[in-house]
């Protein structure tokens, strides 16, 4: 297949926006983790501090995703693509919502593997938040459930398929962007990459972004509830 300049330009812009998001968020996480380094810490200990400052972490997620969103919307508009139609179709909405919910539950179960990984931490690791205020819970719901669930799926799944699929091949593009997705959340040691594979499957099966959006946001909301109940 012969690629035209527009396809390459679109792919370059999609990759650039997604890399920028990855660098901003991962850069903040690395900075915070390194600021709390103490002699004797292992990698898991260091990584545990990446989102220890909960309020700032959530605000960084919100701001980074929202600031880059106009560029994403412009990319869709310039190419005459309806993002609304990319997200959902009335004919398959019920089925897609159901699939998203199922994948959210499966992803939440996969998240329990993080408990096994955390056993490798020492006493120097961040022990977690003792209690969460109502404001912090609301901030987590907004940043993790809605902003991350919606915006990240536009960047890491929507961009990959719509703007990079013709250049790299759809599956290759989705996997490449999933690597970036895993890098953004590097501190969870591969968990994001793993659940990202589930969301890729759901996206390819339905063809609509609402499936990974619900799976992503739903998993995060389940995790928030789980933390509140077990803290």
CB 224 within 8 A of CB 114: no
What's the confidence (pLDDT) of residue 128?
86
C-alpha dihedral (95, 96, 98, 104), degrees to nearest 10: 160
| CB half-sphere exposure, 203, CA atoms < 13 A | 28
What's the confidence (pLDDT) of residue 167?
94
CB 149 within 8 A of CB 212: no
Instruction: Name which of 223, 209, 184, 227 is nearest 88 in CA terms.
Output: 209
CB 30 within 8 A of CB 50: yes
Start-end of H helices in 155-190 = 159-168, 170-184
Other beta carbons less than 10 A from residue 51's beta carbon? 20
Could you list the pLDDT tens digit for every one of the 231 residues in the chain?
456 789 999 999 999 999 999 999 999 999 999 999 999 999 999 999 999 999 999 999 999 999 999 999 999 999 999 999 999 999 999 999 999 999 999 999 999 888 888 899 999 999 888 788 999 999 999 999 999 999 999 999 999 999 999 999 999 999 999 999 999 999 999 999 999 999 999 999 999 999 999 999 999 999 999 988 886
CB 220 within 8 A of CB 212: no
Ordered DSSP codes for 106-163: HHHHHHTHHHHHGGG--TTS----S---HHHHHHHIIIIIIIIIIIIHIIIIIHHHHH
pTM of the model: 0.94
CA distances from 13 to 3, 167, 211 (A): 15, 13, 24
d(CA 34, CA 87): 38
Structure letter (DSSP) for residue 38: -
Max Cα-Cα span within the chain: 58
CB 177 within 8 A of CB 164: yes
d(CA 47, CA 120): 12
Residue 49 token pair? 């501090």
């Amino acid at each position: 297949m012969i690629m035209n300049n527009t396809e390459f330009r679109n792919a370059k812009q999609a990759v650039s926006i997604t890399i920028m998001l990855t660098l901003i968020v991962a850069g903040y996480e690395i900075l915070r983790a390194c600021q709390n380094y103490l002699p004797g810490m292992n990698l898991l200990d260091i990584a545990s501090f990446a989102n220890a400052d909960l309020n700032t972490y959530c605000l960084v997620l919100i701001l980074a995703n929202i600031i880059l969103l106009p560029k994403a919307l412009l990319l869709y508009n310039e190419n005459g693509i309806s993002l609304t139609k990319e997200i959902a179709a009335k004919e398959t909405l019920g089925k897609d919502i159901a699939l998203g919910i199922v994948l959210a539950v499966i992803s939440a179960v996969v998240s329990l593997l993080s408990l096994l990984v955390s056993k490798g931490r020492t006493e120097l690791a961040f022990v977690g938040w003792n209690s969460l205020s109502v404001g912090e819970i609301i901030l987590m719901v907004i940043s993790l459930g809605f902003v991350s669930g919606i915006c990240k799926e536009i960047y890491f799944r929507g961009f990959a398929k719509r703007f990079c699929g013709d250049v790299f091949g759809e599956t290759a593009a989705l996997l490449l962007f999933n690597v970036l997705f895993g890098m953004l959340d590097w501190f969870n040691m591969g968990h994001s990459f793993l659940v990202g594979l589930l969301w890729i499957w759901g996206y390819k099966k339905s063809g609509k972004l609402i499936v990974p959006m619900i799976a992503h946001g739903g998993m995060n909301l389940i995790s928030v509830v789980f933390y509140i109940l077990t803290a």
